[in-house]
A and B are shown apart, each in its own frame.
Chain A
Amino acid sequence: MSILDSKIPSGELNQKWSSYKDHIRLVNPANKRNIDIIVVGTGLAGGSASAALAELGYNVKAFCFQDSPRRAHSIAAQGGINAAKNYQGDGDSVFRLFYDTVKGGDYRAREANVYRLAEVSASIIDQCVAQGVPFAREYGGLLDNRSFGGSQVSRTFYAKGQTGQQLLLGAYSAMSRQIGKGKIQMYNRHEMLDLVIVDGKARGIIARNLVTGSLERFSAHAVVIASGGYGNVFYLSTNAMGSNVTAAWKVHKKGAFFANPCYTQIHPTCIPVSGDHQSKLTLMSESLRNDGRIWVPKNLEDSKAIREGRMKPTDISEEERDYYLERRYPAFGNLVPRDVASRAAKERCDAGFGVNATGEAVYLDFASAIERYGREKVRMNHDGEASMETIMDLGTEVVKAKYGNLFQMYYKIVDQDPYKTPMMIYPAVHYTMGGVWVDYNLMTTITGCYATGEANFSDHGANRLGASALMQGLADGYFVLPYTIADYLADDIRTGKISTDLPEFVQTEADVKAGIDRLMNIKGTKTVDHFHKRLGKIMWDKVGMARNAEGLNWAITEIQKLREEFYSNVRIPGTVDSFNPELDKANRVCDFLELGELMAKDALNRTESCGGHFREESQTEEGEAKRNDKDFAYVAAWEYTGKPSEAILHKEDLVFDKVKLVERNYK
């Protein structure tokens, strides 16, 4: 028997949330003033929660490790945000968005959560527009939409290639308003290093002031973890340099179960790695696949010649090119979901067809789109016969209007003109579907400790659809948590301020201090990045796009060895009580070194392939992922016991009432 209770309300799927809200306990405004809430993180999830909770009257203490809440990693999201508005009249609905999300997640998400997400999605757009978020508009003055990630309806709202920025700045301005009023106390450059539990309830955190280095205690009646995803366990990813698992991992070690850690999303279109010195990877928006065609040479010899610089992609004739996605998946072609596109690129490169010096890149070619658009223009302009040059020039203009900023970004990084020669792309770690286990209320297995946004596991199953993370972060913070947390806090109206002199605070702070002192005293010879890079390589090679039992077992042993080496040979310069970015990094990497092991263990346990998790042992004859619903239609929630490899598995069975489980087929 599992001890997990997902607390899904009874009733019809489409009534659950509204009837739940009708019956929930409330906290009256006078009492809200006596209640403190800590929110760790100021991205879309934490920023929206902080603003909404402060507006309601709670005292919020918000934390981020950057120098301003506006810099959370959500700022980097490019493509857009989904919402079931059906403004385009193309048949979208709450049910369809719900259905697409469950299916896209390869049937490994909880129906009730996803339905609620789809239900509140429309309010998100209303709220953001009211805040002054400048979404793209049509000439008539109404909001524009685009189709994204191969979805059959146009439900994605966007602001050029900077949707995340505009949404985050909206949440940040709502926060700023409450900061000005004193309802949010903002703690910039503060990093949460542990959770304080008093009488079985989350009552505070220990944070390090990153400017002075001092450890500080903060108390509250509830703690919300909105610290983002853990993709940086791979070292190279599209996440920001500081993105980390520490806050989530620390609550895990204090009793919160960690769910589906092996579900990672590898995004197919990123700029390939250029050398060893590289510190991060850059995403090229998925929208490019609407117009770009992906290919590698048909002949190994040609690939080799390209790698060695003896040939250029434009030297290779149409007949000599392998448009492998169009070949393998005629129905969806270049628009297959992310996991499928990523694996197909890896398959070609592993077979020796890769096209840059490292052998790990494929082409994303806009030549046919440019020509097609150019010919359309010529027809529209009634120009009659036009030279190829004119056609290509006109087409280039069209492509520039659509993707100009992305092409510019590519040019700055790679120093090649993607209008003239195909882009090179390769999959990269992008998003983590796994995270802290939460129930329907977004509460973890620690009473009074919540997790929202990418930090939790709840809505995307084994694979996230494009433009759905932004939706989830804002849904959690603006429209879900403010209700569910009240139900819990209704018991706390008489508790009064929680003292940070309680022994639990003293003890937790002492533990954190001991951990930091231990790191500082190692005084070894290798830098923190040295270990992080090695961990990343193990993860990428064995716990990346394709996994097998042998590799995973190997990874577990290697990570354990690496962790030991880290604790005997890492060198952290500087002092504890000063601005010390190397110590900040070390605090994060020691948690990645434990998380990596749990990811491998989870991947080893799940002998099926589903979504972003591909077990080589579980594939069809054509090499497609093979799910096993009979044995694996469950959430794997891990309990910490002292060693990641000895974590205890708890299963939350997934029950599907509305959605029929079928094989995802994109052929």
Chain B
Amino acid sequence: MPHSTAPGPMRPEEVDEDDILPDAPQQVSDHTKEEGKTDMTDSASQSEDSTSEAPRIDVKVEDLFDDADDDEEDEFSGSRVLNPGNESSPPEAPLPCAQSAKYTDPEVMLAFYQRLFPFRYLYQWLNHSMKPSNDFGHREFAFTLQNDAYLRYQSFPTGDLLRREILRLNPSRFEIGPVYTANPRDRKTLRKSTAFRPMAKELVFDIDLTDYDEIRTCCNKANICHKCWSFVTMAIKVVDAALREDFGFQHIMWVYSGRRGAHAWISDKRARNMDDQKRKALAGYLEVIKGGAQSGKKVNVKRPLHPHLARSLDILREHFQRDILEDQDPWAEPEKAERLLRLLPDKVLNDSLRKKWDAAPGRSSVSKWADIDALAKTGASKTLDGRALLEAKQDIVLEYTYPRLDVEVSKKKIHLLKSPFVIHPGTGRVCVPIDTKRLAKFDPLGVPTVTELLGEIDAFDGQTTEESDVKKTQDYEKTGLRPYVEYFRTYVAGLLREEKGVKRERETGNAMEF
């Protein structure tokens, strides 16, 4: 009689709810180590209570195994400071900007939140309306405090209340999660766990240059330069085109992740409402580069090329010539050239290429790429299949240029992603939106750091003698953050305009049924 002898599932009261991890704080940084993305897979139902006094930490075994060592140790890990403002209320007077301070100083962070962070537009962006609604009120925020404690399931009725709490806690960064079916703060009081589910979230994408380490030659790990930033530029172009043309999305915002990548946030209603299965489908549609360290050829696409791939190839071809062959020069050394040969189909042709390249050490990737067609034309191989060669070359272009997305981030509604405009703890740079109309001009190394910005406010205030001018001008307008905030404002206005239209349409549509 299995039903009477089998051990029953653990009853709720047997569960040790107060399971605070004694040695957790040093582990939690793993959560957010990778550019602020967090795997919260099915943690909603087994979460810690983050609203209590002591910060509790939500730990999942897979998170704990996150690679601290694969990611260059974040600079801030050695300088953990307990936040002195933690218990006090927000200061009344504007904080001095403390120009000499380091960006990891809590006062610097607090001044940034107080004077520069665009809470108003962030609220409108997430709320899709000026009027308070559940789109914002039931939205999860997660804070990483200065002592690295991690608070999940924070929620706020309005943007102003979010601002106040951020000024009180002064987190080193924070993340945005889904809109839940109920207020995240109430989740423990709900009778049924099924009553608390993620309901909607922006569709998000994550591009991280560390995923390009096997093909970028200029830098590795957390380092970037202008040469390798072009990988991100290419990725944005390809993904943005597919999202707009194929999926019909219009409200797409790209955000610099503060160091070595970019995030996309898609706010179209249709995108926000997609369930995980549809998110997975969309991610699969975009995913081309597949396989681990041992999987060999990483691009295996069908012919004829799907229109999405044909279009991507058109976008990427010129980048391949300039950004890959010239700037990355990926096949300069003989052993790297072997990698190229392994991706080509004809053994005889490969032999003659190898011979030619052995005779000319240091031959550039540009020349080597040109050699392929040149030798093929001379009839170096009798067995050569021209079509197979062409397709192999297309695959190589894709392998070296096509976006390498971290698709896991896109597949789940419940994933949290670092908020735009927070400060990257490793670089001090602001996670600013990227204007895709000026994509080529975007310079990640020129993005303002928090200390620069605070210095600009001081400089402005010092130069302007008229007291009234200082008052009239908003702080962000005094700084290099201005174009980014203005871009965000315009973008959000467009989103709100459309939401309003959608809503009105729905309301009148309903009215006609009666």
A binds B: no
| Chain A interfacial positions (CB closer than 8 Å to B) | none
